[in-house]
Amino acid sequence: MATLTINEQKKVSHIEPEVYGHFSEHLGRCIYGGLFVGETSPIPNVNGMRVDVVNALKELRIPVLRWPGGCFADEYHWQDGIGPREQRKRMVNTHWGGVVEDNAFGTHEYFELCRQLGCKTYINGNVGSGTVREMSEWVEYMTFDGISPMAVLREKNGHKDPWRVNYFGVGNENWGCGGNMNPDYYANLYRHYQTYVRHYNHAAPIKKICCGANVDDYDWTNEVLETTFRHSPEEAHGFMDGLSLHYYVHPTGWKHKGSATEFSNDIWYKTMYKAMYMDTLVTEHGKIMDQYDPDKEIGMIVDEWGGWYEVEPGTNPGFLYQQNTIRDALIAGVTLNIFNQHSDRVKMACLAQVVNVLQAVILTEGPNMIKTPTYHVMHMYRHHQDADLLESRLDGVKTVGTEVDQVPQVSASSSMDQDGNITVTLANLSATCSEPVDVVLKEAGWGRLLEARVVASDDIHDCNTFQDPNKVEERDLEIQMDPQGKGFHVELPAASVAEVRFTRL
């Protein structure tokens, strides 16, 4: 039996709401059809945004939405996406299916979407094929309050007031699709470009995100930080508020990713092993960051993460549309526990991607919408947002898996919210065996159960479809509260993610 011992009197670090963020790219049916259908669509919408999708995301308390990419960001020229729609330039989306992008969704539409969602904004700028001037004018267009060429243009296009840009990414994957750069070259460009990301609103400065590493490219992290901090270690903290990290779980490798819905138990454990690897990545990149930034003022921003498989049969390979099973629920549960545990360094994370692409929380088909198993995990975990991570320790955890892929059976994290309620999230990584878990608090008196929920199913391949949209969803979980209010006992079903919330009597 596993035991999770929680010290409810020791808050370790704050879990920023942004750790539960999302990512939207001009890719496949994420923006078009998924989030935005246009004002004239028969699909219910407000100013072109799908009502069903916006409402579902609001239920997740979506804290931040990254846009417009991804690889798309380094080919995106923002001026093409403003002004009367019929006059907007068309372009080829070279990365994603070679389809024609008509720029119907641009800067104004993005801010309208974030307004409806009530979330923070995270714009990703173009370093790969854009100029410093272009980037600087975009920031002026979005945020300058007064008379300036870009502010006047914004007003002419229908928005007098400036918007708030919370985060600005200076390039995306510049080691790959964003220009195939070497780390020192990119870092010098970063120093240069970020200079012109001006804080026009001094009361609400923009947080600047530097492009970080792909997976375990520790050399990139080291060189980018070394070059950014060289000659100006004091200023460097002003140069950079966050350093990104991208990591996808490709269970059977990048070239042959395997099916989203058909996989063996061996591949299940390969997936779990690769999901757990996020812990190593955050730890090791974090150690390098500590050398330059010991006070942890620069956030690690995991702005692309999730499972990546072959596309659904019969769909456009460039659209990255995949199904989402119990296996994805586990990737989410395990990864979010890791982020919580590293919340002293991980300040934002964006699941890739929000609708219809990769490990999406929502899938749409015409006017219909379904919530995936990952959605339900994000929904249960929403209580960790803006809470404080509690000190905790797991003991007696078995190792499960195959000879090659061994993982701890149980993953957990716990937090206390602003009202003093405790949330414990647990994942059972075994594909076949349930596991008893004792959760023990330091002191008695925590006897009022608020909710106990679980995402599980009879078959690890189960998913929600448009024919059977609620096959996998959150259900009540049976637990035994300790009579003294010193914790609880639970039998975690095989392949499950659970959430238990309680408070003082």
Residues at the site binding ligand AHR, with contacts judged by CB under 6 A: 25, 69-71, 172-173, 304, 352-353, 358
Q: How far is the CB of 370 from ligand AHR (least distance, A)?
A: 21
**CB closer to ligand AHR, 179 vs 493:** 179
**CB closer to ligand AHR, 245 vs 441:** 245
Measure the CA–CA gap between 420 and 450, rounded to whole angstroms: 12
Q: Which of 289, 459, 472 is nearest to 363 (CA)?
A: 472
Rounded (5°) CA angle 136-137-143: 90
Neighbours of 164 (CB within 10 A): 14
Q: How far is the CB of 300 from ligand AHR (least distance, A)?
A: 17
Q: How far is the CB of 71 from ligand AHR (least distance, A)?
A: 4
Structure-token pair, residue 64: 């931040």
**261-273 exposure pattern, b = at least 16 Cβ within 10 A, e = fewer:** bebeebbbbbbbb
Which of helix, strand or coil describes residue 491? strand
Q: Say if residues 274 and 310 touch (Cβ distance below 8 Å).
A: no
HSE, side-chain direction, 13 A CA sphere, residue 485: 15
Catalytic entry in 173, 435, 474, 499: 173
Q: How far is the CB of 352 from ligand AHR (least distance, A)?
A: 4
Q: Is 173 a catalytic residue?
A: yes
Phi, psi of 344 (to 5 degrees): -70, -25
Which of helix, strand or coil describes residue 423? strand
Ramachandran quadrant class, 103 (left: phi over 0; alpha: psi -120 to 50; beta: rest): left
Long-range CB pairs of 254-259 (<8 Å, 24+ gap) are 257/308, 257/309, 257/310, 258/309, 258/310, 259/309, 259/310
Measure the CA–CA gap between 308 and 324, rounded to whole angstroms: 10
Q: How far is the CB of 383 from ligand AHR (least distance, A)?
A: 27
Rounded (5°) CA angle 258-262-263: 70
Q: How far is the CB of 25 from ligand AHR (least distance, A)?
A: 5
Q: Which of 171, 94, 174 is nearest to 125 (CA)?
A: 171
Structure-token pair, residue 45: 């919408």
Q: How far is the CB of 374 from ligand AHR (least distance, A)?
A: 15
Neighbours of 382 (CB within 10 A): 18
Structure-token pair, residue 16: 């920023």
Residue of closest CB approach to ligand AHR = 70
**CB closer to ligand AHR, 304 vs 462:** 304
Which of helix, strand or coil describes residue 370? strand
Beta pairing, strands 2-14 & 388-395: antiparallel
**CB closer to ligand AHR, 48 vs 69:** 69
Q: Report the first-to-last Cα separation within the chain, whole angstroms.
A: 27
Q: Which of 373, 466, 380, 369 is nearest to 49 (CA)?
A: 369
Catalytic entry in 101, 112, 304, 499: 304
Strand partners, 97: none
Q: How far is the CB of 93 from ligand AHR (least distance, A)?
A: 11
Q: Which residues are catalytic?
A: 173, 304
